[in-house]
């Protein structure tokens, strides 16, 4: 498979004014994403997991410049998306689309379904006639299992699952190569989640899409992903093929997440060992020195406070499995 996206040392920092500080005082710096790097191939799905506040959504938004970032985001071996002009970035937005967490809030309540789905075409394909736009909208509605007679309805007339289908149709109408899914099923019922996930997988196969899929539910991520990346406080703790990660997690944070995944067998669920992490997620305004996970890590030693571990392959891992832990080989 050809490389679609290469991310190198991506960092996102927000300046936070100090409470009660004098005007023009130096702000505090919140490092939301700190030195993330990975690749994504055409047609591949990369799952991203981690606790709330670990930087998953910020990372997704930084990839398409919805928030300012530093580093390199190389698209198809060519331009760095963080360095191109705003005008040129507009052309790339038709190739990288996004699906958001709250399906109803992501849709303009004053526009009909047909107008919502057609809006990207009006921006990126002004050469199309109204008749051609309408034909494409109806075709896309059919792909996501929306009825043709719903084209003139408004978002509030639809359920959450239907609104998410509208969002998917809107993202796909300009024929992108990559869809970034920012927790697209977390606001939906479990049965509807399965329908939306299966829809995404079917469309990915039919259209050859690449997906970046962000979620809290590790079972959902395992079902849809080819590789999985684990984030903690804006840093990658581990990244691997999904089967390698779920069967042979090497980082203590990944192991804790995996131990919390429910097992459908009640006998196994009652007897399994659940790893409970001590303490709270540190503030990104004042992250720990060295390894950012060390304050909650059961393996932490003096070295962890002195040096940030490199994300690299370990002898105890599988080929291609990279872990950011000084002592991953000792378990």
Looking up tokens 């084209």, which residue turns up? 151
Answer yes or no: is 134 within a domain. Answer: yes
pTM: 0.91
Same domain, 182 and 39: yes
Answer yes or no: is 102 within a domain. Answer: no
Query: What values do phi and psi take at 118, rounded to 5?
Result: -80, -20
Q: What is the mean predicted confidence (pLDDT) over 81-93?
A: 91
CATH of residue 206? 3.40.50.300
Answer yes or no: is 23 within a domain. Answer: no
Same domain, 228 and 321: yes
Same domain, 285 and 218: yes
Answer yes or no: is 284 within a domain. Answer: yes
Answer yes or no: is 317 within a domain. Answer: yes
For 156-188, write each residue's pLDDT tens digit. 999 989 999 999 999 999 999 999 999 998 878
Per-residue burial over 128-160, b if 16 or more Cβ lie within 10 Å, else e, is eeeeebeebbeebbebbebeeeebebebeebeb
Same domain, 159 and 190: no
Same domain, 180 and 214: yes
Answer yes or no: is 101 within a domain. Answer: no
- Strand segments (E) across 225-286: 227-232, 235-241
Nearest to 304 by CA among 230, 237, 248, 234: 237
Same domain, 88 and 118: no
pLDDT at residue 331, rounded to an integer: 60
Q: Can you read off the two tokens belonging to residue 308?
A: 């940030």
Same domain, 75 and 184: yes
Q: Say how many domains are in the chain.
A: 2
Domain region containing 181:
3-17+28-95+176-330
For 292-325, write each residue's pLDDT tens digit. 999 999 889 999 999 999 999 998 889 999 999 9
Same domain, 137 and 281: no
Per-residue burial over 23-56, b if 16 or more Cβ lie within 10 Å, else e, is eeeeeeebbbbbbbebebeebbbbbbbbbebbbb
Answer yes or no: is 43 within a domain. Answer: yes
Same domain, 205 and 317: yes
Same domain, 67 and 121: no
Same domain, 290 and 207: yes
pLDDT at residue 270, rounded to an integer: 76
Listed range (57-61, 169-173, 185-189, 226-230) with the worst mean pLDDT: 185-189
The last residue of one of the domains, among 148, 167, 186, is: 167
Answer yes or no: is 320 within a domain. Answer: yes
Nearest to 99 by CA among 225, 215, 219: 215
Same domain, 126 and 194: no
């Amino acid at each position: 498979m050809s490389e679609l996206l290469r991310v190198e040392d991506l960092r996102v920092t927000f300046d936070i004014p100090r409470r009660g500080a004098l005007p023009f005082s130096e702000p505090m710096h919140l490092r939301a994403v700190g030195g993330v790097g990975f690749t994504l191939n055409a047609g591949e799905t990369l799952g991203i997991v981690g606790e709330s506040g670990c930087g998953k959504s910020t990372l997704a938004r930084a990839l398409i410049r919805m928030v300012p970032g530093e580093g390199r985001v190389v698209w198809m071996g060519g331009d760095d998306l963080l360095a191109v002009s705003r005008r040129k970035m507009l052309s790339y937005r038709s190739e990288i689309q996004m699906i958001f967490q709250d399906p109803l809030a992501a849709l303009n309540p004053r526009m009909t379904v047909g107008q919502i789905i057609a809006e990207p075409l009006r921006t990126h394909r002004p050469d199309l006639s109204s008749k051609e736009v309408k034909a494409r909208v109806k075709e896309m509605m059919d792909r996501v299992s929306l009825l043709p007679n719903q084209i003139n309805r408004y978002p509030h007339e639809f359920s959450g699952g239907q609104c998410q289908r509208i969002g998917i149709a809107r993202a796909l109408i300009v024929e992108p190569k990559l869809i970034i899914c920012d927790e697209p099923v977390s606001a939906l019922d479990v049965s509807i989640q399965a329908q939306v996930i299966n829809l995404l997988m079917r469309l990915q196969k039919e259209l050859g899409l690449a997906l970046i899929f962000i979620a809290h539910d590790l079972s959902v991520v395992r079902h849809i992903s080819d590789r999985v990346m684990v984030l903690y406080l804006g840093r990658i703790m581990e990244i691997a093929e999904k089967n390698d990660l779920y069967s042979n997690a090497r980082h203590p944070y990944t192991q804790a997440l995996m131990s919390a995944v429910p097992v459908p067998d009640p006998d196994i669920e009652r007897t399994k060992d659940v790893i409970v992490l001590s303490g709270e997620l540190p503030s990104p305004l004042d992250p720990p020195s060295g390894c950012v996970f060390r304050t909650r890590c059961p393996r932490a030693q003096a070295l962890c406070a002195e040096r940030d571990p490199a994300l690299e392959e370990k002898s105890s891992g599988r080929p291609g499995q990279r872990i950011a832990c000084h002592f991953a080989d000792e378990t």
